[in-house]
Amino acid sequence: MNRFGAIALGAAAIVAIVAPFFLRRYGIYLISMWAVLTIAAIGLNLTLGYAGQVSLAQGAFVGIGAYTVALLTQAGWPYPVAFVCAGALCFAIGWLLGYPALRVQHHYLAFVTLAFTTLVFLVLRNEEWLTNGIYGINGIDRPVLFGWSTGSALDFYFFCLGMLAFLSATTWWMLRSPWGRAFLALRENPIRALSLGLDTRRYTLMAFAIGSSLGGMAGALYAPLVQFIEPNSFALGLSFNLLLMVIVGGSGFFFGPFVGALVAVLLPEWTRFTEGYYLLIYAALVMVMMAFCPSGLLGLVGRVSKAMTRRAPSPPLLRVEGTDP
Amino acid sequence: MSAVLEVSNLRKSFGGITAVNDVSFEVREGEILGIIGPNGSGKSTLFNCVLGQLLPNAGEVRVDGKPTTGMRPCDLNRLGVSRTFQLLQVFPQLSVRDNLILAGQEHRGSMLSRLFGRSDAGLGDAAERMISFFQLSHLAGEQAGALSYGQQKLLDAAMAFMAGPRLVLLDEPAGGVNLTMLAHLRDRLRAYHVERNATFVVIEHQMEFVMALCTRVLVLAEGRVIAEGAPQEIRRNPAVIDAYLGH
């Protein structure tokens, strides 16, 4: 990581820690939502940005994770166990969802995963014996972790932020290993990768499974954050929104999801003064950005700083994108 | 000398066209076998059948006596069979160094051990040596996509050698490469051959390249082997001249 990146990261970390003390309840709720959605977007960025597998199912995995945690904790399971179960269940389902990706790619794969999202939504809505259908699940408690009650908005925010730090560090570590290189190879040239001994089948399934698992863990935080879940929250809209976060932030950049989720959470709030028009303005801004900067906001930062420095010596080793400007 | 690769009675048809028709040959340890033939004579199909990219309709492929017909390309590669492609196949957004590490990393340990292993999979030095062997040192940190076509061809070949393969199949290594780069590539392939007693199979159109590099040449026409022998014999063989010049 170069100096500029390190300073930016340090400053962002300080802001994330200090900000809630200057915010009211709703503001803290928003930044907690940012942390949770960032985790889900990191998962999608792994599947889509690094391994190149289009998925419109990330919202469904958030839903599966949220319902798993809600149902298990209300059945009396301790939260940490329920959290791990949510991650493990989504890992397994994500692995299975990866099988279609071995046969179809790009927009065909998008359709397959879109169908999966619809399927999950229908199960959540119709299987009332399990999910309570359209009435949703109410009164989800915030966990008490080793004597630390996360009941207040501030405590729960720091719990979410801690999980974000832990999960993103784990993802970073994984992407620095030879696996990161293998995922990129999958995106760049699967045929050549196969001829170099890379078991593309296993890596594709693994990319789906890990990405989905992160979605599930985000869901496991989402449920106690909002304390009331219902099927509509996890319909196609959320999957599209997560995809938007990855692309707006910069697909394939490590810190892309952090930026993308921030835009997706804050921009609608900032444009709220326009009342009825705020979604319209939001949509227009996204369209303009996609037209002029398809590589996302971090891609834009990269272009600008490259234009300013003009041929700095290129960094060695694997580029875990987003670290270099 | 033992046969590294044995192909017997291989046949592959697409609909009504038989692209490879009852082809048999073997490649002995330490030789450079050239496969030539006019366009559409079945060279690339033959390669793809040998390498597991296509499933042959009949016949058998053996590597070191072990049947490999229908084996997945990644498993075959881990047995020591490596290849380059006719059209450029590097990873454009990875650096030259990472392209090479990637070419070797799947041969080290298990998938799980790689996750917990070093970032360069312990191949940093080997990659550096390969880079200097192909004289790409000044480009080691560049993205592969930023290299010239000829340099990418060199990288492509270097990647095929990275895991210390038993057998390398090169599909038109000279295609689209300028004469200076071509001489350089030929020189590097020959040096590698001498240094490691490596075994190559080369598909090529460029006659001079084949005649200068190969120890034995096989000629395909319309899916069949029509001649086989030392380069000098092939050059004078009437059946070969006929196949190339038409009827």
Does residue A1 surpass a pLDDT of 70? Answer: no
Angle at A51 between CA A205 and CA A267, to 5 degrees: 115
Task: Classify residue A53: in a domain, yes or no.
Answer: yes
Complex prediction ipTM: 0.90
For chain B, which residues lie within 8 Å of any Cβ of chain A, measuring from their own Cβ?
51, 53, 72-74, 77-78, 82-83, 85, 89-95, 97-98, 101-103, 105-107, 111, 114-117, 119-121, 140-143, 159, 163
Test mutation, A173, A196, A311, chain B, max B CBs within 10 A: A196
Task: Classify residue A60: in a domain, yes or no.
Answer: yes
Which residues in chain A are closer than 8 Å to B111, comparing Cβ atoms?
Answer: 199, 202
CA distance A217 to A86: 6
CA A24 → CA A29, A258, A301, B51, distances in Å? 9, 22, 31, 64
Cβ atoms of A58 and A44 closer than 8 Å: yes
Query: Global pTM?
Result: 0.90
**A292 contacts: CB under 8 Å, gap ≥ 6:** none
- Checking phi first, is residue B125 left (phi over 0); if not, alpha (psi -120 to 50) or beta? alpha
| Helix H or strand E segment including B101 | helix B96-105
Task: Classify residue A317: in a domain, yes or no.
Answer: no
pLDDT tens digits for A35-75? 999 999 999 999 999 999 989 999 999 999 999 999 999 99
Nearest neighbour of A178 by CB, restricted to B94, B121, B159: B121
Return the exposure string of B3-27: e unless at least 16 CB atoms fall within 10 Å of the residue's CB, then b: bbbbbeebbbeeeeebbbbebebeb
Task: Classify residue A100: in a domain, yes or no.
Answer: yes
Task: Classify residue A290: in a domain, yes or no.
Answer: no
- Around B17, how many Cα atoms within 13 Å sit in the side-chain half-sphere? 8
Does residue A323 surpass a pLDDT of 70? Answer: no
Task: Tell me whether residues A192 and B94 touch, CB distance under 8 A.
Answer: no
pLDDT at A321: 46
Task: Classify residue A213: in a domain, yes or no.
Answer: yes
Query: Which residues make beta-bridge pairs with A178?
Result: none
Sort strands B224-229 and B3-14 into parallel, antiparallel or unpaired. Answer: unpaired
Test mutation, A102, A173, A192, chain B, max B CBs within 10 A: A192
Which residues in chain A are closer than 8 Å to B94, comparing Cβ atoms?
Answer: 181, 184-185, 188, 318-319
pLDDT at B236: 86
Q: Show the tokens assigned to A88.
A: 């493990």
Test mutation, B44, B77, B85, B98, chain A, max A CBs within 10 A: B98
Task: Tell me whether residues B102 and A317 touch, CB distance under 8 A.
Answer: no
**A102 contacts: CB under 8 Å, gap ≥ 6:** A201, A204, A205
The boundaries of the domain holding residue A55 are 19-234
**A306 contacts: CB under 8 Å, gap ≥ 6:** A325
Q: How many domains does chain A have?
A: 1
pLDDT tens digits for A220-275? 999 999 999 999 999 999 999 999 999 989 999 999 999 999 988 988 888 777 77
Task: Classify residue A99: in a domain, yes or no.
Answer: yes
Task: Classify residue A5: in a domain, yes or no.
Answer: no
Nearest neighbour of A185 by CB, restricted to B78, B85, B102: B102
pLDDT tens digits for B164-190? 898 999 998 888 888 888 888 889 889
Does residue A313 surpass a pLDDT of 70? Answer: no
